[in-house]
Structure 1
Amino acid sequence: MEYGHFSDNGLEFIITEPITPRPWINYLTNEDYCAIISQCAGGYSFYKDCRSGRILRWAPENWHFDRPGRYIYILDKDEGNCWSPTFQPVREKPQSYQCRHGLGYTVIESIYYRVKVEITYFVPVSDPCEVWLVKISNLSGKKKNLQLFPYIEWLIGDYHLELRYRNIMNLYNRIWFDDSMKAILARKTADWAKSNIYSFPWLLFFGTNLPIEGYATRKDIFLGKLNTEQSPAFITGKGDKDFGLCSGEDGVAVFSHSLEMAPGEEKEFVVFLGQTESKREVRRILNKYRNIARARKELEITKEFWQKKILDNIEVETPDNDFDNMVNVWVKYQMYICNLWSRSPSYYHEGAGGRGYRDSCQDAEGIVSIDPAHSRKKIKTVASLIRRDGSSAPGWSETRGPATHEPNKDHPVWLTSTVSAYIKETGDKGILLQKADYLKDRWIKKGTKIDPTWNRGSISDGRGTIFDHLERNLNSTFEDVGKKGLPLIGHADWNDAIDAAGIKGKGESVWLAMALVRSLKLLAELAELINRRKKANELRKKAELMTKRINKWAWEGNWYVRGFTDDGTVYGSSKNREGKIFLNTQSWAILSGVAEAQEIEQLKQSRGKKQGSRGSRIGRIMKSVDRYLNGKHGIVMFAPAYTKFDSKLGRITMFSPGTKENAAVFCHTNTFQIVAYSMVGSGNKAYQSIKKILPNSQKDYNLYKTEPYTFAEYLIGPDHPYLYGEGAFTWITGTAAWAFLAATEWILGARREFEGLRIDPCIPSHWKRYRIKRPFRGAIYDIEIENPRGKENGVQSVFVDGKRIEGNLIKPHKDGKVHKVKVLMG
C-alpha cells in the first residue's frame, strides 16, 4: 500500500512519509475533549462543542495546507540547524519519518541531524486536555546543545464568530504567562450567542514540565513581519521580545527550553494543553501531568480503554483480511467518533457544532451491538427533542442546548428503527414505557412556524413514554402529506441538497414515504411488545395505505421515481434527461417491503441466481441499479449527473457533476443497497459493493487520496471530468454505522431479532468458511459457518453446543458462557 500500511495486529495505521495525498487524520477524544491530528501534527482541538468550544486555530483551507497544529521547533545552537520533528511547519526533509495512528493516540517519530524524536499525542480518558509525551535521543557521537520551542496557536471560543468577525473577536482575547503556575493561560473577556452576551466560562492552558527560559503569547511577535510558521522570528532571533501578555490580538502559546544532551543520551518531557472552568482545576491538571510517570500511566489507561471498547465484542474472521480489519477495528472506532461528535468536527465540514437528530439515531443503531448502554442513553436524549405535536428539534449542543433551525423532513423516521434495534439487541422492551420530556421551544405548527412572543429558550412540556414519543414523531410525517398522499419534502429529506423541491409546501418525497412505511411497520412490532395490539393494527394499516400510494404514483415499470416538485414535476424518472434514476428509492423499496414483500422470499429460495429473471418488480429494480448506477468505484447516488442548475430542485444541481450529492458514489447510499442485496439473497453483489467502498481496498491512493482506515462520505462519480474515484469527507459519516450493520447483520448474517439471534448469511460464493464471535444478551456465540457448496445464502443446519436446533434462530441463553455454534450453508 502506498504511503503506509497497517500494523500486524491491525490496531495501528503506520504512515511512512510525511506528505500524503490529503492530510490523514486521527481523532483523540474522551466525552468532553477532542483533538483532531494529522500525520504532520496539524489539526485542532475543542471542548464539548466544536463550534463554541474551539481551542486551537484552524481554517477551512487547512485541509490543503495542514497548518497550524501542535508543533515543537528544535534549534541546534551549535550547528544552526532548525527543524520540526513533525515535518510541519519547518518542512525540512527528515532522515526517517513515521506516524502511527492508533486507537486513542498518535505517535510521530522522526530523525533529523542525528536527533531522534518521538512524540505521542493522546487525550486522557478522564481529563479535559491533551498530552504530548516527548522522547528525544542524541544519535550522534557528540554533545548536542538544543533549544526546544513547543508551540500552538489559539482560537478561543466560537469558531463561526471568528470566521465572520475575526477583526472583532480577537479584541476579546486575553492570554498571559502565569508565573505561579508556570503555564500560559487564555480566555475571552466575554462571548455571545445571537443577541445574548455572556461571561466566557472557560480557562484554557498550555504547559510543560521542563524549566522555562522564555515564552511568547503574541502571534505578531512570534512570527515577525510578513512571516509564517516555517521560520518564525521568535526562534530565528530576528524578532522583538515578547513579555508574556497578549491583549486584544491573535494569540499563540510558545515556550523556550534549553536541552543539553550527551552522545547517546535519551531524555523525556511532557507538554499539555486543555480547557476547564477554574484555575483550581487547571492547577490540578498541570500538577498531574508534570509527573511524567503519571502521564505515561494515563497513556496506558487510555490505550486499554479504547482497546477494550473496540476489541471486547464482535469479532470476525473471513477469507478477506481487509474486510476483517475494518469490521474488527477501524469501523468500530469510526462509529465511536460519530457517536461522540456527530457530523461537525473534521477537516472537511464547517464545524457548526452540536449533534444531529437523525445522525445520532443512525449512529446509535450502528453501535448498539458493541455498546448498548451508549445507545440507550442516546435514545433518551434524542427522544427529549420531540415536541408534543410530533415535530422535533434538528439536534442539540452540549453548550447551546436544542438546535433552533427547521429540521429536514426525514428526522421522524429514524428513532423508531434505533429503538427497535436496541430492544432486539438487549431484550429491554421496558424502555418503551420509560418517560422522556417533550420539548417546548419557539417552534409551533409542527416545527414550521416561529412564535414571535416566545422568549424562554427550550423547556420541558411535560413527559410521555418513549413509545408515545415515537408514535407522535411518525404521525407528524404521516399527516404532513401532499396531493398524492406522499410526505412533503419541505426544504429537504435525507438528501440535504434536494432543498428547493418543496419550498412552497407542495413537493412530495417518494423516498421519505418508503422510509415512513418501514418505520410504521417497526413501530407496529413495538406496539405488540407492550400489548397494544389495536395500535399495532392501526400502524400497519397506515403502512399499507402509504404503500398503495407509493405504488400508484411512483412505480414507472423499471424503477421508482424519487419525488415530485412543488409544481408536480417528477424527478428520478425515465422522463428526465438528467437525474433519471436515484438509488435510494430502489434500495428502500426493498428495505421497506414496498416492492412486494412476497417477492423477497421467492428470490431467496432461488439463492439469488434468478435475480430479475422473472421480470418481477424487485428483479427490474436490481437490473436497473446494475445497468445505470453501478460502476468500478461503487454505485452512484443517481444518474446521469445534473449539468445545469435547476431551481425546482436546488443545490443538488449546483455541485460539480460527480461530487457530493450530484451523482457521487455516496457510500451511505451504497450501504443501503448492500442491505437490499442481502435481503434478496445476492451475496456476491453485496460483497462486491462493500469491497468497492472499503477504504483499505482501494487500488490507487494517489487517486483515492483519503485515509485507508476510515470510510469516506463519498467517492467522486464518473460524471466528473477527471476526478472519478477520489474520496472525500472522511470519518464523520453515517456510512460507518450502516457499513457495520451491513457487514455483521446482513452479509455475515448474525442478526438480532426480538426472539433471539438469527443466523442468515448472505456471502460471496467463493467463501468456503468464516467465523463470527457475537456477544448477545448475556452470552457469547462463537459461530463457525461452512459453505462447501459455494452458496450465496441459505442455511441447511445449525448446531449449538453440539445439539441441532430447529431452524436458524438461536434463543438467548443469558448465562454468561461461550456457546459454540456450527452452521452449514446449503
Structure 2
Amino acid sequence: MTSKTLESATQQLVHHGLNALAQSPAVVQILSDNRITSFLSVAGTGGIRFDGSQAITRWQPDPTCDALGYFFYLRDLESGFYWSLGYQPTCIVPDEFEVTLTPGTFVAKRVDQAIASSLEVCIHPTLSCDLRRITLTNNSEETRSLELTSYAEIVLQDSQADRAHPAFSKLFVETQVHDGAMLLAHRRPRGSNEKTLFASHFFTDDQKGSARIEWETSRNNFIGRARSLRSPLALNTNAPLTGTVGSVLDPVFSLRRTYVLAPGDSVQTTFCLGAASSQAELLESAASLKNLGTVDEAFLSADNTAIERLSEFELTPTQIPQLLELATRRLHGFTDYDQPNKVVSAKNESDAICNHLADHDVTEAQHDKLADYLNHLGIVAPQSPLARFNSVNAPFRPLTEADDRSKPHKLALGEYEEPLLFDNGIGGFTEDGREYVMRLRPQGDGTLQLPPMPWNNVVSNPGFGFIASETGAGYTWSGNSRLNRLTPWQNDPVCDPHSEAFYLRDEDTGEYWSLTPGPVPQVATYEVRHSWGYSSFRHSSDQLEQELLQFVPREDPVKISRVKITNLGDQPRRLSVFSYVQWDLSDGCPIGPLHTETSLDAEKNTIFACNQARAEYADHTAFAAIAGSSGDCSLTTDRSEFIGVQRTVGNPRALSHSSELNGRAGVSLDSCAAIQSTFTIEPGETVERSFLLGETGAHSEAQDLVSAYQSTETISKALSDVKSFWVDTLTAVKIETPAPAIDLMVNGWLLYQNLSCRFWGRSSSYQSGGAFGFRDQLQDCSALVHHWPELTRQQILRNAAHQFVEGDVLHWWHPPHSTGIRTAFADDLLWLPLVASEYVQATGDQSLWEEEVRYLTSEPLPAGEPEIFLTPRDSGEKGTVYEHCCRALDRGLTRGLNGLPLMGSGDWNDGMNRVGQGGTGESVWLGFFIDYILERMLPVCQQHGDKQRYERYGDYREQLRLALNDAGWDGNWYRRAYFDDGTPLGTAAADECQIDALVQAWAVMSNVAPPDRAASSIAAADQRLVDEQAGIIRLLDPPFDKMKNDPGYIKGYLPGVRENGGQYTHGVLWFIRAIAEMGQGTRACQLLEMISPVSHGNSPEVVDTYKAEPYVVAADVYGQPPHVGRAGWSWYTGSAGWMFRVAVESLLGIHLEDGTQLRIDPCISARWPECRVRYRLSDRKTVYEIHIQNPNKKERGVTSALLDGTVVELAENGALVPVQQDGLVHNVVVIL
C-alpha cells in the first residue's frame, strides 16, 4: 500500500454523535474478512454472519426500534446502576457519546458517571473472529467496582431459516464451557448433508480483572420472563450468572468479569467471537488470539486490510459513506434507490434512479461497483415490484430518555376473588370450566407475576384469527396464518414482544399505561380471561375500571377489540385511548412493512393498508378503524413517529407527548396503524370504544366491513353470537367422571383447541404453519365427527382433492393455490381411506364414497429426492372418494425384504426421514397401521363389488401379519423399523431407541399382536417409557444422540426434546388407547389423568416445571435433564383431537355407529364408582344422558343396559343403544 493510500485511510473517519441516533434507519458499519462479516449500527446493534448467509448471532434490522445485537453491559456494583457500551440496548443517554467509523474499525466512546468507555471492533484478517476491545477508565475520585457482561444470541444457521421459525431453529444448538473461560456452541445437523457450524466466545486481557469468570448460555435465564434486553434479569439481581450450558433450548453467549479501578486507572480487555466449520479449527484460532500481540496487530492493520479489499472491487476509502448508506438501505429492506423520509417527485422507477444518483453524486458505474462489493458479502438488494417512495418529510426527532413519564403508577383499587378450580397461584378455571382466569399481581419490584411461559388463546373463524397471550401480545392473520400475517408473528416465548398494543393516557397528568399486562402495565392486579372465542383483560387503577375484550365474529375477517372505561372517582377525567398495530402484510418477510402503502379516511377514522409485493394477497386491503361516534380522533401510519427511533412499545414517543397523532401516511414508511381517541368521562360514567382490525379482498369491501361494525349493538350481538356458537358446538359431548382433570379438557377445551387453533387457525405462538397437512387435518377432523360431522366430511373431500393421479398426495399445501410439497412419505396417503371409512362407519353416510373429486398432476418426484416444492395442476381427471382411497392403498401397500412396508422418506414420525431414504428401509409401525386400515376398507371393497382389490388387499394383509410377528418382533416388544442396510431400529441390542411406544400401541390397536406379545410389549413400554414422577410418557428411549445409523433429523434434536425421547403427546395417546384396548382401565385412566395439562397446572410447583398453559395440550414435554417435565410447544398439535377420542371412545367407550346406534363399551378405573356422559346428536337437539355405573368395581364388561327404562341388546363389545333424531332427551343406564 502506498503512503498516499495509507494517509487516505487514516483521514476517512466518519464521526457520529448523539444526534445520529435519531436517524432512521441508523447507519450500519460493515467489517469483513470475506468469511466472517460483522454489522454494527451507530446505535450499537448488529449481527455477525459467516460465509455470507450463515448467521452466527441473531440480528433483524429494524429501522425504528433496532434492539437486537451483540452487546456489552457495564454495572457499577456500588450503586447497581448499569448501562451499555453502545446506546442500545439500555438506551441510557450518556454524558458524552461518539461513534467513529474507519475503513476497518468501529469505535464507540462514551462517558457515564465519570467512567469513560471505549469499544473498538475489527475483524481478524485470517482467523475468522470478531474482536471487540474494551477500555474502561475511572475518571472519578473514588475507587470503582465495575462488572462487564457480554451478550449475544447464537444462531449458527442461515439467517432466513432462523427468522422463519426461531423456536425451531434454537432446538438444535448445544453449548459448552471449555477450560472454564471459553464458551462453545455448535448446531446439531438436521440434514445428512448439513454442515455443522461451531462458534466460540472468550476474552483475552492483561489479567487485571477478577479471577472469577461467570457465564450464561440460556437466554431465558439471562433476560427473564417478559423482560427485555433493556432491563434483563441478569442485570437486575445480585446473583451471579448461572453457568448453565448444554441443552439450553434458547442459546446465548454471555461472559462476565469484575474490575476494580482506582481513580485514574484503566483496564483493557478484548472479547472474541469466532466461527469455524470444526471445533479443532475454532480452538486453534482461540489459542492464537490469547496472545495480546495478535489482537493488537489485528487492530493496527484493520484499516489497511479493509482498503485492500475495497480496492479489489475498484473502490476507494472516499466511497465508504456511500457504501454504508447503500448497505444500510439494503439491510433494512429498502431497494438501492428508495429514499426513506425524503420528498421525491419521480413519476416512475427510472426517474427515481436518476434522481437518487444525482442527489448522491454517484454515477451508475460507481453504484454498480458498490453493489458488487455488497453482493459479495451477501448483502443483496431486496426484491421489490416497484421502487417505493415516501411522500412526506420526516421531522427531526430529538433523543430523549428511555422512559420520560413523570408520574408513578397507582395501586389497584381492589382484587378479584372469584374462586377458581385448580388454582395454582396464577390462575385457574371458572366453575363451569369455560374460562381460564389469571390474576397477575404486582411483585415486590413492581413487575407483575406472570406464568413462566406465555399462556395464550388462539381465537379464529374459518378464515381469520389472532393469538393473544396473557400480556396482550400476539398477532393477527387473514386467510392464511403463515402467508398473510396482518401483524408480525414474534415466536419469542421469553420476551413475548408486542406487535399490537392498547394504551390509556390521562390527558391532565400525562401518565399512561397499557390496558393489558404488557407492554407497560400499571402496578395493579390484572385479571385475564381466556375463553372459547374471546379473551378479556381487566384491571382497576387510578379510580378507573378498565376492560379490553377481543374476539372475531363468526364469519367476518375482522378482529374487534372492545374497550370499556368506567370512572369510579368523583371528578371528570380527560382521557385518551390508543390502539397500535405494527403492519406486517407478508409471509413474515421483515421488509413487509416497507412495501406497505397506507392511506387515511379521517372522516371515518379508518386506516387502510396494502402491499402489492404479496403474491396471493397483493390486491387485498387491510384496515384499522375505530367504530361509532368516537369524539376527537387522530391517526398515523408512521411507526417511527409513533414509537420513536431507538424506543419501544413500552415507552412510545407518541404517548410521551401531548400532541395528537400526525396523520402521516404513504409509502416507504416503517408502517403501522395507530389511532387515538380522546374523551371526557364523568363520575360513574362508562365509555366504550371498539377498534377494528381486518382485511378484505378489495378496498370497497374493507369500507363496507368497517361500516357494518359501527354500532355498539352490532358488536354486542356479534360477541353474543360467538359465545353461543362455541358453547353450543363444544358441549355436544359432556362428561362427568371422578377425574376432573380429564373432564375439564373433554368438556370444551380439547375440541376448542382442535377446531380454533389446529383446524381453522393452523398457528400458535410456537409454530405458524398456515398450511393444511394431509395427515394432520384428517386426524383433527376425525375428532369432530361427534360434534360437527359435516366438517369431517368437507375435510375428507378437501384432502382427496389434493391427491395426485398416481395415488400419492401433497404432504402439506397452502391455500389458495395448493402450493406445497410432494414427498415420499409412506403414511400420508393412507390416512384418507382410514378417516373416510371411520366417518362412514360412524355416520352411515354411504354417499361419501360416490362423491367425485379431482386429481392433481405435477412433475414427478425426482429420483433420490425425498421431496419437491411445487404448485400442482388440476389433472382434468376425477374419481369417486372410494377410488381415491383405493389409489392410496394401491400405491401404499409396498413390501421390502422382510415383508414389511417400505419406509420411504418417513412414516408418521417425520423426524425419521432417513431410515428408508435409500428405498429399502422398512417400517414396522406402518405395517400395523396398514392392517388397521385394511380391516376397515376390506368390507368397503366387498360392498362395491371390487373383487380384485378385495382379494389382493386380503392376501397382502395375510402376509403382512406374518411378517410383523416375525421380523417385527424383538423378543419382548416390537421393533420400530429397519434401516436401508437392514439394521433393526427399536431393538434391545441397540444403544439408542431401544423401544418406541408408537409401534407397541398399534400392535395392540390393530389386533395383530397375539395376546401374550401384546401384554409383553405394553408392559415393557410401560416400564421403560412411563415416568410417573415427572408425569410424562416418553415416545422412545433412549434418545438418539450418537447412533452410527442416521434415522433423520430426529437425531438433530437435543436428547429428550420433542420426538427424540420426550413425551410426544400425539403418539403416547395411542399408547393409552392401546392399554384401554387391553382392558386395563385403571392404568389407562391413571395415565390420561397424569398427562392432562390440568394435572401439570394444579400447583405453583408443577407450573414452575411444566411452564405451559394448563388448559390446552402441549405437543411435547421434554424427557431429559435439565428439562424433564417441561412443556415444549403448546396449542398447535394433533394431540388435542386424539386426547378427546381416547377419553370419550377408549375410556368411556362411546362409539357412534352407522348414525343409528351408540355402542357403549367403557374401560374405566376400577376405582371409579360411576361416570356420566351427555351426548347430543348432530341435529343439535336430541340428547342422550348416559349414566355408567360400576358397583362391582370392574374395569370393563357391560352386564346390563337400559334406554329410557327398556333393556337394550348387549354384544361382546358393549351395549348397543339405538338412537334417533327426535329432539328429545333420553336416559341411558349402563352397568358394569
Please give the alpha-carbon distance, in whole angstroms, between the structure 2 residues aligned to 1:206 and 1:187.
12
Query: Percent of counterpart pairs with the same letter?
Result: 29
Following TM superposition, by how much is the alpha carbon of 1:335 offset from its aligned partner in structure 2, in angstroms? 1.8
Please give the alpha-carbon distance, in whole angstroms, between the structure 1 residues aligned to 2:871 and 2:494.
43
Based on CA coordinates, which of the two structures has the bigger radius of gyration?
Answer: 2
1:635 matched to which residue of 2?
Answer: 1033
Compared with structure 1, are the counterparts of its residues 208 and 170 closer, same or farther at alpha carbon in structure 2 (3 Å cutoff)?
closer
Please give the alpha-carbon distance, in whole angstroms, between the structure 2 residues aligned to 1:541 and 1:419.
22
1:587 matched to which residue of 2?
Answer: 1001
Following TM superposition, by how much is the alpha carbon of 1:77 offset from its aligned partner in structure 2, in angstroms? 2.4
Compared with structure 1, are the counterparts of its residues 246 and 489 closer, same or farther at alpha carbon in structure 2 (3 Å cutoff)?
farther
- Mean CA deviation greater in 488-497 or 102-111: 488-497
2:1115 matched to which residue of 1?
Answer: 713
Question: Which amino acid in structure 2 is aligned with residue 264 of structure 1?
Answer: G
1:329 matched to which residue of 2?
Answer: 748
Q: Within the alignment, does 1:626 sit opposite 2:1022 as a pair?
A: yes
Q: Within the alignment, does 1:760 sit opposite 2:1190 as a pair?
A: no
Matches within 5 A, 1:563-578: 563-578=977-992
Q: Within the alignment, does 1:78 sit opposite 2:515 as a pair?
A: no
Q: Is the 8 A contact 1:339 1:364 kept in 2?
A: no
1:7 matched to which residue of 2?
Answer: 430
Question: Which amino acid in structure 1 is aligned with residue 506 of structure 2?
Answer: D
Task: Find the partner of 1:97 among 519, 526, 531.
Answer: 526
Question: Which amino acid in structure 1 is aligned with residue 1159 of structure 2?
Answer: R
2:735 matched to which residue of 1?
Answer: 316
Compared with structure 1, are the counterparts of its residues 101 and 233 closer, same or farther at alpha carbon in structure 2 (3 Å cutoff)?
same
Compared with structure 1, are the counterparts of its residues 573 and 239 closer, same or farther at alpha carbon in structure 2 (3 Å cutoff)?
farther
Please give the alpha-carbon distance, in whole angstroms, between the structure 2 residues aligned to 1:35 and 1:66.
15
Following TM superposition, by how much is the alpha carbon of 1:756 offset from its aligned partner in structure 2, in angstroms? 3.5
Following TM superposition, by how much is the alpha carbon of 1:171 offset from its aligned partner in structure 2, in angstroms? 3.6
2:708 matched to which residue of 1?
Answer: 288
Question: Which amino acid in structure 1 is aligned with residue 737 of structure 2?
Answer: T
Compared with structure 1, are the counterparts of its residues 138 and 450 closer, same or farther at alpha carbon in structure 2 (3 Å cutoff)?
closer
Q: Within the alignment, does 1:348 sit opposite 2:766 as a pair?
A: yes
- Mean CA deviation greater in 770-779 or 572-581: 770-779
Q: Within the alignment, does 1:113 sit opposite 2:542 as a pair?
A: yes
Matches within 5 A, 1:381-460: 381-406=798-823, 408-443=825-860, 457-460=872-875
Q: Deviations over 1:581-618 (max 9, x none)?
A: 1111100111112213xx3xxxxxxxxxxxxxxxx111
Q: Is the 8 A contact 1:426 1:776 kept in 2?
A: no
Question: Which amino acid in structure 2 is aligned with residue 183 of structure 1?
Answer: T
Q: Deviations over 1:148-183 (max 9, x none)?
A: 211111111222xx0xxx34x444211222235421
Task: Find the partner of 2:622 among 204, 228, 240.
Answer: 204
Q: Within the alignment, does 1:785 sit opposite 2:785 as a pair?
A: no
1:65 matched to which residue of 2?
Answer: 495
Please give the alpha-carbon distance, in whole angstroms, between the structure 1 residues aligned to 2:575 and 2:1043.
59
Following TM superposition, by how much is the alpha carbon of 1:683 offset from its aligned partner in structure 2, in angstroms? 0.1
Q: Deviations over 1:632-672 (max 9, x none)?
A: 11210111122336561122122122111111111111210
Following TM superposition, by how much is the alpha carbon of 1:443 offset from its aligned partner in structure 2, in angstroms? 3.0
Q: Is the 8 A contact 1:798 1:804 kept in 2?
A: yes
Compared with structure 1, are the counterparts of its residues 564 and 381 closer, same or farther at alpha carbon in structure 2 (3 Å cutoff)?
same
Instruction: Look up the SS of the partner of 1:740 in the other structure.
Output: helix
1:774 matched to which residue of 2?
Answer: 1175
Q: Is the 8 A contact 2:819 2:871 kept in 1?
A: no
Q: Within the alignment, does 1:722 sit opposite 2:1122 as a pair?
A: yes
Question: Which amino acid in structure 2 is aligned with residue 472 of structure 1?
Answer: R
Following TM superposition, by how much is the alpha carbon of 1:449 offset from its aligned partner in structure 2, in angstroms? 8.7
- Mean CA deviation greater in 316-325 or 708-717: 316-325
Q: Is the 8 A contact 2:606 2:623 kept in 1?
A: yes
- Mean CA deviation greater in 122-131 or 561-570: 561-570
Instruction: Look up the SS of the partner of 1:234 in the other structure.
Output: helix
- Mean CA deviation greater in 123-132 or 496-505: 496-505
Q: Is the 8 A contact 1:439 1:459 kept in 2?
A: yes
- Mean CA deviation greater in 72-81 or 726-735: 72-81
Question: Which amino acid in structure 2 is aligned with residue 285 of structure 1?
Answer: L
Q: Deviations over 1:397-438 (max 9, x none)?
A: 222325234263210221222112211221112211221111
Compared with structure 1, are the counterparts of its residues 578 and 647 closer, same or farther at alpha carbon in structure 2 (3 Å cutoff)?
closer
Following TM superposition, by how much is the alpha carbon of 1:813 offset from its aligned partner in structure 2, in angstroms? 3.7
Please give the alpha-carbon distance, in whole angstroms, between the structure 2 residues aligned to 1:745 and 1:813.
17
Question: Which amino acid in structure 2 is aligned with residue 721 of structure 1?
Answer: P
Following TM superposition, by how much is the alpha carbon of 1:268 offset from its aligned partner in structure 2, in angstroms? 0.8
Gaps of 5+ in 2: 1-422, 441-447
Following TM superposition, by how much is the alpha carbon of 1:392 offset from its aligned partner in structure 2, in angstroms? 0.8
1:467 matched to which residue of 2?
Answer: 882
Please give the alpha-carbon distance, in whole angstroms, between the structure 1 residues aligned to 2:943 and 2:1112.
37
Following TM superposition, by how much is the alpha carbon of 1:472 offset from its aligned partner in structure 2, in angstroms? 1.0
Compared with structure 1, are the counterparts of its residues 432 and 318 closer, same or farther at alpha carbon in structure 2 (3 Å cutoff)?
same
Following TM superposition, by how much is the alpha carbon of 1:444 offset from its aligned partner in structure 2, in angstroms? 5.5
1:134 matched to which residue of 2?
Answer: 563
Please give the alpha-carbon distance, in whole angstroms, between the structure 2 residues aligned to 1:221 and 1:405.
46
- Mean CA deviation greater in 784-793 or 390-399: 390-399
Please give the alpha-carbon distance, in whole angstroms, between the structure 1 residues aligned to 2:866 and 2:432.
54
- Mean CA deviation greater in 116-125 or 626-635: 626-635
Instruction: Look up the SS of the partner of 2:821 in the other structure.
Output: coil
Q: Is the 8 A contact 1:338 1:363 kept in 2?
A: no
Task: Find the partner of 1:234 among 654, 665, 671.
Answer: 654
Following TM superposition, by how much is the alpha carbon of 1:372 offset from its aligned partner in structure 2, in angstroms? 0.4
Following TM superposition, by how much is the alpha carbon of 1:776 offset from its aligned partner in structure 2, in angstroms? 4.8
Task: Find the partner of 2:901 among 466, 481, 487.
Answer: 487
Task: Find the partner of 1:736 among 1131, 1136, 1150.
Answer: 1136
2:586 matched to which residue of 1?
Answer: 157
1:602 matched to which residue of 2?
Answer: none
Q: Is the 8 A contact 2:758 2:1133 kept in 1?
A: no
Q: Is the 8 A contact 1:442 1:450 kept in 2?
A: no
Q: Is the 8 A contact 1:212 1:255 kept in 2?
A: no
Instruction: Look up the SS of the partner of 1:93 in the other structure.
Output: coil
Question: Which amino acid in structure 1 is aligned with residue 1022 of structure 2?
Answer: D
Question: Which amino acid in structure 2 is aligned with residue 290 of structure 1?
Answer: Q
Following TM superposition, by how much is the alpha carbon of 1:531 offset from its aligned partner in structure 2, in angstroms? 4.7
Compared with structure 1, are the counterparts of its residues 275 and 262 closer, same or farther at alpha carbon in structure 2 (3 Å cutoff)?
same
Gaps of 5+ in 1: 193-197, 600-615
Please give the alpha-carbon distance, in whole angstroms, between the structure 2 residues aligned to 1:143 and 1:579.
69
Question: Which amino acid in structure 2 is aligned with residue 458 of structure 1?
Answer: R
Compared with structure 1, are the counterparts of its residues 487 and 249 closer, same or farther at alpha carbon in structure 2 (3 Å cutoff)?
farther
Please give the alpha-carbon distance, in whole angstroms, between the structure 2 residues aligned to 1:65 and 1:451.
36
Q: Deviations over 1:533-567 (max 9, x none)?
A: 66434323222211212222120110111111122
Instruction: Look up the SS of the partner of 1:269 in the other structure.
Output: strand
1:550 matched to which residue of 2?
Answer: 964
Compared with structure 1, are the counterparts of its residues 338 and 471 closer, same or farther at alpha carbon in structure 2 (3 Å cutoff)?
farther
2:675 matched to which residue of 1?
Answer: 255
Please give the alpha-carbon distance, in whole angstroms, between the structure 2 residues aligned to 1:450 and 1:655.
21
- Mean CA deviation greater in 462-471 or 752-761: 752-761
Q: Is the 8 A contact 1:521 1:539 kept in 2?
A: no
- Mean CA deviation greater in 799-808 or 266-275: 799-808
Q: Is the 8 A contact 2:893 2:901 kept in 1?
A: yes
Please give the alpha-carbon distance, in whole angstroms, between the structure 2 residues aligned to 1:314 and 1:260.
48
Please give the alpha-carbon distance, in whole angstroms, between the structure 2 residues aligned to 1:211 and 1:41.
26
Compared with structure 1, are the counterparts of its residues 534 and 199 closer, same or farther at alpha carbon in structure 2 (3 Å cutoff)?
closer
Following TM superposition, by how much is the alpha carbon of 1:442 offset from its aligned partner in structure 2, in angstroms? 2.6
2:572 matched to which residue of 1?
Answer: 143
Question: Which amino acid in structure 2 is aligned with residue 631 of structure 1?
Answer: D
Question: Which amino acid in structure 1 is aligned with residue 734 of structure 2?
Answer: E
Q: Within the alignment, does 1:702 sit opposite 2:1122 as a pair?
A: no
Question: Which amino acid in structure 1 is aligned with residue 881 of structure 2?
Answer: I
Compared with structure 1, are the counterparts of its residues 310 and 516 closer, same or farther at alpha carbon in structure 2 (3 Å cutoff)?
same
Q: Within the alignment, does 1:819 sit opposite 2:1226 as a pair?
A: yes
Please give the alpha-carbon distance, in whole angstroms, between the structure 2 residues aligned to 1:213 and 1:770.
57
Instruction: Look up the SS of the partner of 1:156 in the other structure.
Output: coil
Please give the alpha-carbon distance, in whole angstroms, between the structure 1 residues aligned to 2:1205 and 2:709.
53
Size of the aligned set, in residue pairs, is 786
Task: Find the partner of 1:177 among 587, 600, 607.
Answer: 600
